[in-house]
Structure 1
Amino acid sequence: MESMGLSFDSNKSVSKGRFNKAGSTSHHAEPLPDKKAVRKELEYKASLPENVKLRLSEPDTQYVIYMMENYGEDYKAMARDKKNYYQDTPKQIRKKILKFQKIPELFDAYKLMKEQEMNVIDAS
């Protein structure tokens, strides 16, 4: 790592305003890996899939639920609704609904709420 200009501890690498020479003794007990090994390790870490956390704001969540409750999958009617304050197109509304459905915490809670409503209606 030192041969690549990287340092584990910047305080040990810089002393009194001067950089230590490349020939100085290493502070590490283990041998330093060669550049190819470091490059392969960094490429491997970069190739791993990133854990992306989807988020939807509270007003957008309420908006999506309102649209789904009233219109089902009629995106053109959703676009004409008076609560479409931002004048979203049918395609934009569809994307918001799909995003809502991909967030398990929100969508599972919505499905549970719908099931409870159905149970209350059936019990009546």
Structure 2
Amino acid sequence: MTKKHSFRYSRNAKKLRKKEKARLRIKNPIVDSAWKHGLSVKSNFNRLGIAYDSNEVLKIPNRGFLQGTQESIPPVQKKTKVVEALENVAQQSEKKPAYISEDDQLFCLYNLELYGDDFQAMTRDPKNVYQLTSKQLERLIDKFKKTPKYQTYLKEKRAGTFNIADIYDICVAH
């Protein structure tokens, strides 16, 4: 059984509502500087040029659209200063480099050296202890190819200084 909700006489409801409304904190400094706290969220978004409801902006076409009757596409609003500033920040931010653990990097090097692009053979390798499927191995190696370690591997391989036996204690027949 749950406790019945009752009115709290010791609390001022009006003051609590005002406090709750005043708690609105915007973490993005660009949006925060242009935000007008007297307006609603929807009107602030419209003023800033940001979509409040993506379903209104990007409507899913109905069956009539598939049959050939097209509705007029609403004109695109011009970009506001806030939207331009947000786009500039997004373009300037650096992407994180792909991270793969050291063990996975060694595993990828081993597989690339022995099997090349034969992912089916990689699945049957005894060192595939986690029993990764060919698709999982393909994704892992694609992710590995985006790391700086792969670039150093390619340089060493071109120079002829890379030896898989140095990394793993195995006998590789050349």
Give TM-score, length-normalised by structure 1: 0.58
Aligned position for 1:63: 107
Q: Over residues 32-80 of structure 1, what are the superposed CA-to-partner deviations in whole Å (9 max), with x where a residue is unaligned?
A: 7455359662785278356232111100000000001111111011000
| In structure 1, C-alpha distance between the alignment counterparts of 2:159 and 2:153, rounded to whole Å | 10
2:86 is matched with 45
Name the % identity. 28
Tell me how far apart the structure 2 counterparts of residues 113 and 86 of structure 1 sit (CA, whole Å): 28
Change (3 A) 1:38 1:113: same
Stretches of structure 1 lacking an aligned partner (at least 5 in a row)? 8-31, 120-124
TM-score normalised by structure 2 residue count: 0.43
Q: 1:82 is matched with which residue?
A: 126
CA-atom RMSD in angstroms: 3.6
Which consecutive residues of structure 2, in runs of 5 or more, have no partner in the other structure? 1-21, 27-32, 37-43, 51-79, 163-174
The answer to whether the aligner puts 1:91 opposite 2:135 as a matched pair is yes
Question: Is 1:109 equivalent to 2:152 in the alignment?
Answer: yes
Equivalent-residue separation in structure 2 for 1:55 and 1:4 (angstroms): 37
Residues 95, 6 of structure 1: CA spacing in aligned structure 2 closer, same or farther, 3 A cutoff? closer
Please identify runs of 4+ aligned residues in structure 1 that moved more than 4 A.
Answer: 3-7, 32-35, 37-40
Aligned pair in 2 of structure 1 residues 81, 45: CA closer, same or farther (>3 Å)?
same
TM-aligned CA deviation for residue 6 of structure 1: 5.2
Change (3 A) 1:4 1:42: farther
Distance of aligned partners of 1:98 and 1:112 in 2 relative to their CA distance in 1, 3 Å threshold: same
- Structure 1 residues 74, 6: CA separation in 2 closer, same or farther (over 3 Å shift)? closer
Shift of 1:116: 2.3
Distance change (3 Å), C-alpha of 1:5 and 1:38: farther
Q: CA deviation at 1:107?
A: 1.5
- CA shift, 1:110, in A, is 0.5
Q: Partners of 2:133 and 2:157 in 1: how far apart?
A: 26
Higher relative helix content: 1
